[in-house]
Amino acid sequence: MNRHKIVVYGPSGSPFVEKVLLGLAFKGLPEAHVEEPKTAADFRRWNPETGMLPVMDFDGVRVPDSSGILDFLDARFPEPPLVARDPWIARQQRQLEAWIGESFYFYWVRWLRAHVAPQDVDPSKPNDLERMGILGRIGEVLASGPSLPGDLGPEFQRRLDDLASFLGARPFFHADRPSRADLTAAAFLMSLEAGTVPGGRRMLEARPSLVALLARVREATGRG
């Protein structure tokens, strides 16, 4: 029986947190307890180096960064692997993982700047939500009702089209079995489906191949 104690520190609605949870589920590891940050100070307390979450505590070992956490899981639990056996394909999957995270985050932060708390944004620190002063206000905006202001824009929709193009006719990215690229994509697509991204459900439903990918990842991980 697997008795590992796993805690993931980070906002439960974050795609980066969901990416970690999908990785744990894919490896057949016990479901992690998610510790939700209650104040901006929690970000610095849980990750003194950068203040960015998620961070995973695995049997007392602290591992930061969603991609670093997947590296840790793959090294400690190599089956099933999170990248293809072929080194060239594995490199493509890792590159796509990075592209998905960077692209989604860019458009999400841009929307937050425009609609949540533009007066609080320090443009010299574009990648730190804590320092942008808006963590406590995101939930208020998302809870304001079905008519959220704006959406992530046509550029973001083009990136979704790029993602569908990368997938092509294969069941998973660059391969016939899921990889860390698929888990990353699924985590962000879940945000679209859940409506935590303005206009997200509509964008996802307009791209059936991505809907199908999300269903396949759910089947492979057993995580709904």
Q: What pLDDT, on the 0 to 100 scale, is given for residue 116?
A: 59
Can you give the pTM of this predicted structure?
Answer: 0.86
pLDDT tier, 115 (very low <50, low <70, confident <90, very high otherwise): low
Instruction: Check: CB of residue 137 under 8 Å from CB of residue 117.
Output: yes
pLDDT at 131 over 50: no
Work out the average pLDDT over 178-195: 94
Give the residue, 29 or 2, on which the prediction is more confident.
29
Per-residue pLDDT tens digits for 141-181: 544 544 445 567 788 899 999 999 999 999 999 999 999 99
Percent of the chain whose pLDDT exceeds 90:
58
Residue owning tokens 């191949």: 209
User: How does residue 25 score in pLDDT terms, banded at 50, 70 and 90?
Assistant: very high
The domain spans of the chain are 6-76, 87-221
Q: Which residues contact 26 (CB under 8 A, 6 or more apart)?
A: 80, 82, 178, 183, 220, 221
Q: How many whole angstroms separate alpha carbon 200 and alpha carbon 109?
A: 15
Q: What share of the chain is helix, strand, coil (3-state, %, to 5)?
A: 55, 10, 40
51 touches 43 (CB < 8 A): yes
* CATH superfamily of domain region 6-76: Glutaredoxin (3.40.30.10)
CATH of 87-221, one of 1.20.1050.10, 1.10.3720.10, 2.60.40.10, 3.30.450.20: 1.20.1050.10
Mean pLDDT of 92-104: 95
